[in-house]
Amino acid sequence: MRLRCAVLDDFQGVATESADWSVIEDQVEVVALREHLDGEDALATALADYDIVVTLRERVPFPGSLIARLPRLRLLVASGMRNSVIDYAAAEAHGVTVCGTASASTPPVELTWALLLGLARGIVEESEALRSGGPWQSTVGADLHDRRLGLLGLGKIGARVAQVGLAFGMQVAAWSQNLTKERAEEVGVELAASKEDLLATSDFVSVHLALGDRTRGLVGAAELALMKPDAYLVNTSRAAIVDQDALLAALHEGRIAGAGVDVFDVEPLPADHPMRTAPRLLATPHLGYVSRANYATYYGQAVEDIQAYLAGSPVRRLP
């Protein structure tokens, strides 16, 4: 009897086209699920008959309570090599092997700039006006050259964003709790004196931090109040780093010029969620990692993980 594998959150219906799954078809039946399963009960019911689950990023939590309700589960494959919503101890206790895949840093860098440029030049408003017979030129774009780009985080993604900012002729500064002057100089940017200084002096602020106890709620109402009224905030990192209610209030009250957001407290967003209709907001449905090359890596290496597990030699084990 073949094992059964569920591929979660295949929203675009491309998971089985992004890699060659035929190499395991004699041993594994692969089922791609296009609808998001919300809540532990729904997951426990839908996944009860699966031996392998491939999960996308950190959208679906696998706490110990869920793992205990999936007695057939033997292999859990997560895209990326870091996942904060899987209970690894529970997985080990229940005999579940957890493996990861590589994940490129370039797609979120590119989306960051898509959002930032879209905000700065009013791309959505102008395009919609042109297509609907609206006014010819209704916005005045914000310049990038010689403006200040403030980066919260200067890791692999933040550093790449910085390089693009420098290429645009921007003044680039960065801050994080552990960032050193040497690291900032290595990337060619200024080390901001503090988080508050970065927010108060930047024309564009972009978030590139990992989510943890020290970064959760790092940008709240007090921090947003420090920003210039004509400044923009971009978050393609993790939703919980920026207080969503505080951001909504700032956008509705016009205390910042706008925000570009790719990550949300609840995903997918409910139809009536206030982030869907907030003013001054350019929002995308968590597309940071969604690119052809990245999907080829995710699903191609997921197949490799399954092959290695079936051969008795798992690879890319997590954590």
**Dist CA 226 CA 201 (whole Å):** 9
Which is catalytic among the residues 267, 273, 280, 317?
A: 267
Residues β-bridged to residue 82: none
Answer whether 315's CB lies under 8 Å from 308's CB. yes
**Dist CA 249 CA 314 (whole Å):** 48
Which is catalytic among the residues 148, 160, 238, 304?
A: 238
The region, left, alpha or beta by phi > 0 then psi within -120 to 50, assigned to residue 284 is: beta
Which is catalytic among the residues 57, 148, 208, 286?
A: 286
**Dist CA 286 CA 41 (whole Å):** 24
Answer whether 227's CB lies under 8 Å from 256's CB. yes
Task: Compute the half-sphere exposure of residue 258: CA atoms within 13 Å on the CB side of its CA.
Answer: 19
**Dist CA 247 CA 258 (whole Å):** 10
Catalytic residue status for 286? yes
Taking the CB of residue 236, how many other CB atoms lie within 10 A of it? 28
Catalytic residues: 238, 267, 286
